Amino acid sequence: MKLVILDRDGTINEDRDDYVKSPEEWIPVPGALEAIARLNHAGWHTVVASNQSGIGRGLFDMATLNAMHLKMHQMLAKHGGRIDAVFFCPHTPADNCDCRKPMPGLFKQIGERYGVDLGLVPVVGDVLRDLQAGTQVGCEPHLVRTGKAARMGEAEIADLCAKVPGTTVHADLGAFAEWLIERERAVRVAAGEPPSGYGTPDT
């Protein structure tokens, strides 16, 4: 099973300093939904691992979170893509839970749900904690320079990468999708398989 684990706020949709609190505030990053669809068409399953402490902080309730995700799924479907599941932590930092990133609890849940070893499964996010949580279970770290990372300077990006060795940096989710598909294409070519059309919507 080919699996990619994505952060939500700042990676798929625009981030907000005051939290994304309603479907109206849930606005996709340009090109992100198309990138997920392209990954799907190339054979990857995509799931989300997201901190949603707005619930614990009383900023919105579960019905509102579900409405946000319904909007995400509906908009993604228009591009021919899908997210298989959303795993989220509703807690605040004061709860000291195991599921709030950078803790790895959400990733362990994903591994258990799908019955897969998460070693080398790509994790994509825009902040340090996304990558720290994933690498604790062996995920391959990828930083996108959208969301909070869009405001980071080169020195800050370098510092983040030093804290999570092996991190690959991409301009956005579209650039990550292109990188991953091209790597898979190279593997197919090396194995003597035809690369023609790989990663396009009709394959």
Instruction: Identify the bridge partners of residue 170 per DSSP, sorted by sequence position.
Output: 144
pLDDT average, residue stretch 61-71: 98
Calculate the dihedral angle through the C-alpha atoms of 160, 161, 165, 171, rounding to the nearest 10 degrees.
Answer: 130
pLDDT band at 201; cut points 50, 70, 90:
very low
Residue 42 lies in a domain: yes
Residues with a catalytic annotation lie at 7, 9
Q: Could you give the number of structural domains in the chain? A: 1
pLDDT average, residue stretch 33-54: 98
Residue 199 lies in a domain: no
Range of the domain at 39: 3-190
Strand-strand pairing, 3-6 and 45-51:
parallel
- Residue 48 belongs to domain with CATH number: 3.40.50.1000
Tokens found for residue 73: 């799924």
**Which residues lie closer than 8 Å to 194 by C-beta, 6 or more apart?**
188
Residue 195 lies in a domain: no
Does the pLDDT value for residue 13 go beyond 80?
A: yes
Does the pLDDT value for residue 199 go beyond 90?
A: no
Say how far apart CA 77 and CA 75 lie, in whole Å: 5
Contact 172, 126 (CB under 8 A): no
Residue 96 lies in a domain: yes
Residue 53 lies in a domain: yes
Residue 29 lies in a domain: yes
Residue 69 lies in a domain: yes
Tokens found for residue 97: 């839970």
Does the pLDDT value for residue 194 go beyond 90?
A: no
pLDDT at 193: 84
Taking only the tens place, the pLDDT of each residue in 118-141 is 998 999 999 999 999 999 999 999
3-state helix, strand, coil in the chain (%, to 5): 45, 15, 40
Residue 201 lies in a domain: no
